[in-house]
Structure 1
Amino acid sequence: MQDIIITNARLIDPELGESTGSLFIRNGLISDAFDADENTQVIDAGGLCLAPGIIDIGVKVGEPGERHKESFTSAGRAAAAGGVTTIVTRPDTDPVIDTPEILEFVARRASAVAQVRVLPMATLTKGREGREMTEIGFLQDAGAVAFTDADHVITNTRVYSRALTYAKSLGALVIAHVQDPGLSVGAAATSSAFASLRGIPAVSPMAERMGLDRDIALLEMTGARLHIDQITTARALPALRRAKENGLDITAGISVHHLTLNDLDVADYRTFFKMTPPLRAEEDRLAAIAAVAEGLIDIICSMHTPQDEESKRLPFEVAASGAVGLETLLPASLRLFHAGHLSLVQLFRALALNPAKRLGLDSGRLRIGAPADLVMFDPDAPFVLDRFSLESKSKNTPFDGARLQGRVIGTWVGGTRIFGGNPDA
């Protein structure tokens, strides 16, 4: 593998901070050896930002069963175009990933066609039905990096506590979706006067707090490792803070959509803005941003959920939830930087370093010996997003027609450039 030197770069190191300098790549790893020769490829970054590649937890890919929505090939291209070098895929496929055989098929398929690293998750209960836990040990041996029923809440606390206890014995990470299912069923918006005026069935923000309180109690009882896929309300943050202060092994994430959009964005009944959980009030959005800034919320993700036109072009309350986000994760996140809420270092702690730490990966940093999974980007480059230009098969993005700042110039995985046509750009 050819040695590479990237010079004149604005280095965004989530561990050491921001600096200007060069980065050397040898054998697919970040190296401190600068013994360049005539065979070394020299790339002048021209003052552009160079950061660890994004690690995106909670990506939905349609294989198996729904390749028309997203395949590993299209998801890999979309991730590369968005500076995402590792995708952690959800198991809520058709069929669900609840056996080693299905998991191994997915892993082989992803390895064969995806340009980026793919780490699959498996379900915590069989069929995501919440009645019987999966064979966590066998699935872990087959390559599952975490266990989750995605947006299905396990209502049987006995089953859930047993699964957490067993996961604890194996050191397995469990990812939970915290919503009270009784309150949340059928809801398409967050309770407010606005939702009432629009006639949209809504759910109280307390549904998230109630779900989190239950999961924290079970976590305290079992001592497991737990990651909350999304914390989106101000009312849930004190409970999360207490759990961390009490020494529980808990982390939390949030989607970029909940950090950059609010419940008023559904005013025109545009179903591309329908999410799970629903978009929140502006006060919740600002509280969540502050929580990311201080590290209370650890991870920013895309919660990439491709949906076809037929499932989105329906009345708002019955349309499918979710949005694609692999290509828009970085430019949408940069809204927080340009607004002065987060520095680039803080941003990449949440996008790269913290996901790597939670999953036990060596990537997500610019440390010597780390994999050369990198993204080079211009944080100030403006553009208007056209959803039909996205690499994803599905085009359900709420940012269609939005003015964004921040273009990916190059993406590397293991020292190999997978995006960016001009090697000297």
Structure 2
Amino acid sequence: MKRPENMREWSARARAPETRAATPAGTTLIRGARVLDPGSGVDETADVLVDAGRIAAIGAALDAPPQAQTLDARGCWLMPGLVDLCARLREPGATHKASFASEIPAAFAGGITQVLLPPDTQPVLDTPAMLIRVQRLARQAGALDVRLLGALTRELRGEALAELSALKAAGAVGASNAWSPIDDSRIARRALEYAKGLGLTVHVYAQDHGLAGSGCAHEGPVATRLGLAAVPAAAEVAALRFWISLVEDTGARVHFCRLSTARGAELIDAALSRDLPVSADVAAHQLHLCDTDVDGFNAQCHVQPPLRTDADRIALREAVRSGVIAAICSDHQPHEADAKVNPFPLTEPGISALETLLPLTLALVHDGLLSPLQAAERLCHGPARIAGLEGGHIGIGAPADLAVVEPDTVWTLRAAQLLSAGRNTPFDGRRLRGRVRATFRGGLRVHGGAS
């Protein structure tokens, strides 16, 4: 969408919808919000009219059509609905931890309207029948737009390629082997060649499993003092170098998931400078925590990849600021309470993170690292582009997937009050600034009460 020269031009483009003879129920006029559209670079105060599931008008002082609901959003930001590149909603196969029914309200409470599910469900998403089944389960549970990554290899074993063409036809928006290794480099290369021919993006978790071994913490003084098996930074770096070399050979588009090291960010920067078709994301918690938070065997900080050094955290934040890292995701992994009560190496990695993705990113705005528009880019437009989705921007005719955000509201996170079935978070008791007031999915208000 070409950026309009000024608000007058932007408003003028929106006049036609006001002449409709009738306005269907569900039409909403959002008044006076600071509209952040990373797709066009617009950052302006305006009214936004939502009609028939799409954005019908944007402009100053729009007239409310008959029967329209009105939401006074003065003092709020209006962002596209967040696009989360990785959320495990635990269905099918682990419904003792969570389900679509429990996690969809949590996503909406976090302003998230689209999510990508990795293929490591039980059973694995390696057949069209499994993709169709999961899509049906998600639709039955709620309005969240759930998109799927197909398995790159059969049963994620790394031994034979999955039928990527059939998975794409069944709705897969990309392919991944999740955290399962592909030890045969010929299989890895053929996978990229196959995916390139289909126009599919391959999502790679960059970790050399030989170097990582059974490690559960970053290789450094904290892991040594606690006696924990360590994962060196070289595990990420070696894997990135391997996959980037295959991108050079094949020209396939590869998205690198959940970066955790400064050196990893440097390698992505170098690849982008050579115009290689790569992108990268980072989990929000990696921008706020480091390996010292594991001290005391804090199982809530047991994540994969592990929390790295403070220098790595600072470098990742800088890569987000510069755009080398194009997206911030939740890496949502809800667990039952028992999953975090064993000795640290035996606890299950992951954080329940749908409801903290936005406030943790807004903390970067309040710290002066990102502008509000840049935050919207990393949470909405950047992830949508990576996944090849329609959302992530605000414009005439765009889907009315929107988040009305109160950027300055201060609140304290209480794990027991999370909507997610998983209460596993290291941010319990932390004061956060910024939260979602209302979320719209396809023009319907799915979170937030009446005006």
Task: State TM-score, norm by structure 2.
Answer: 0.91
In 2, distance between residues paired with 1:142 and 1:355? 21
Give the count of matched residue pairs: 423
Q: 1:27 aligns with which of 44, 47, 52?
A: 52
Structure 1, residues 147-205: CA drift from partner, whole Å, max 9, x if none?
11111231211111111100110001110010111111111111112221122221221
Report which stretch shifted further, 255-264 or 235-244. 235-244
Residue 142 of structure 1: aligned partner: 170
Query: What are the residue-to-residue correspondences of 1:328-343 with 2, within 5 Å?
Result: 328-343=356-371
Which residue number in structure 1 is paired with residue 66 of structure 2?
38
Aligned to 2:111: 83
2:352 corresponds in structure 1 to 324
Match of 2:286? 258
Of 397-406 and 164-173, more deviation after overlay is shown by: 397-406
Alignment of structure 1 residues 142-291 onto 2, 5 Å? 142-291=170-319
Give, in whole Å, the separation in 2 of the partners of 1:269 and 1:313.
10
- In the aligned structure 2, how far is the partner of 1:43 from the partner of 1:308? 37
Give the corresponding residue for 1:8: 32
Question: What is the SS of the residue equivalent to 2:385?
Answer: helix
- Partner in structure 1 of residue 91 of structure 2: 63
- SS where residue 427 of structure 2 aligns? coil
State the Cα distance separating 1:237 from its structure 2 match.
2.1
Specify the alignment match of 1:361 in structure 2: 389
How far off its partner does 1:280 sit?
1.0
> Partners of 1:143 and 1:190 in 2: how far apart?
37
Partner Cα distance (1:246, 1:379) in 2: 37
User: Hey, what's the Cα distance between the residues in 2 that align with 1:83 and 1:67?
Assistant: 23
Residue 311 of structure 1 deviates from its aligned partner by 2.0
Instruction: Name the residue aligned to 2:43.
Output: 18
Partner secondary structure for residue 207 of structure 2: coil
> 2:11 aligns to what?
none
Conservation of the 8 A alpha-carbon contact between 1:260 and 1:335 = no
CA distance, structure 2, for counterparts of residue 118 and residue 80 of structure 1: 12
Measured in 2, the distance between the counterparts of 1:322 and 1:127 equals 22
Partner Cα separation in structure 2 for residue 341 and residue 198 of structure 1: 33
2:176 is aligned with what amino acid? T
Q: Provide the rounded CA distance (Å) in 1 between the counterparts of 2:133 and 2:406.
A: 37
CA distance in 2, matches of 1:239, 1:47: 40
Moved more, 188-197 or 348-357: 188-197
Q: Structure 2 counterpart of 1:23, which letter?
A: V
Q: Deviations over 1:311-353 (max 9, x none)?
A: 2211111211111111111112112111111111111101100
The range that moved more, 227-236 or 305-314, is 305-314
Distance (Å, rounded) in 1 between the aligned partners of 2:65 and 2:160:
59
Match of 1:375 among 397, 403, 418: 403
Aligned counterparts, 1:368-407, within 5 A: 368-407=396-435
- C-alpha separation between the residues in 2 aligned to 1:240 and 1:16? 24
Paired amino acid for 2:108: A
The AA in structure 1 aligned to 2:408 is: D
Alpha-carbon deviations, 1:102-139, whole Å to 9, x = none? 11100011011123111111111111111011100001
Q: Hey, what's the Cα distance between the residues in 2 that align with 1:200 and 1:311?
A: 18
Question: Is residue 411 from structure 1 mapped to residue 436 from structure 2 by the alignment?
Answer: no
In structure 2, how many angstroms separate the alpha carbons of the residues matched to 1:94 and 1:270? Answer: 28
Instruction: Provide the aligned C-alpha RMSD in A.
Output: 1.3
Q: Which is greater in Rg?
A: 2
- Give 1:78-117 correspondences, 5 Å limit: 78-117=106-145
- For structure 1, list consecutive stretches of 5 or more residues without a partner in the other structure: none
**Is the contact made by 1:148 and 1:175 (CA closer than 8 Å) also made in structure 2?**
yes
CA contact (8 A) 1:80 1:115 kept: no
One-letter amino acid of the structure 1 residue matched with residue 396 of structure 2: I
| Identity rate, percent | 39
Cα distance in 1 for residues equivalent to 2:425 and 2:252? 35
Gaps of 5+ in 2: 1-23
Q: Distance in 1 between matches of 2:277 and 2:437?
A: 37
* Pairwise CA distance, 1:35: 5.6
2:144 counterpart letter in structure 1: V
Deviation at 1:38, TM superposition (A): 2.5
Give the distance between the partners of 1:368 and 1:155, measured in 2 at CA. 47
**Paired amino acid for 1:10:** R
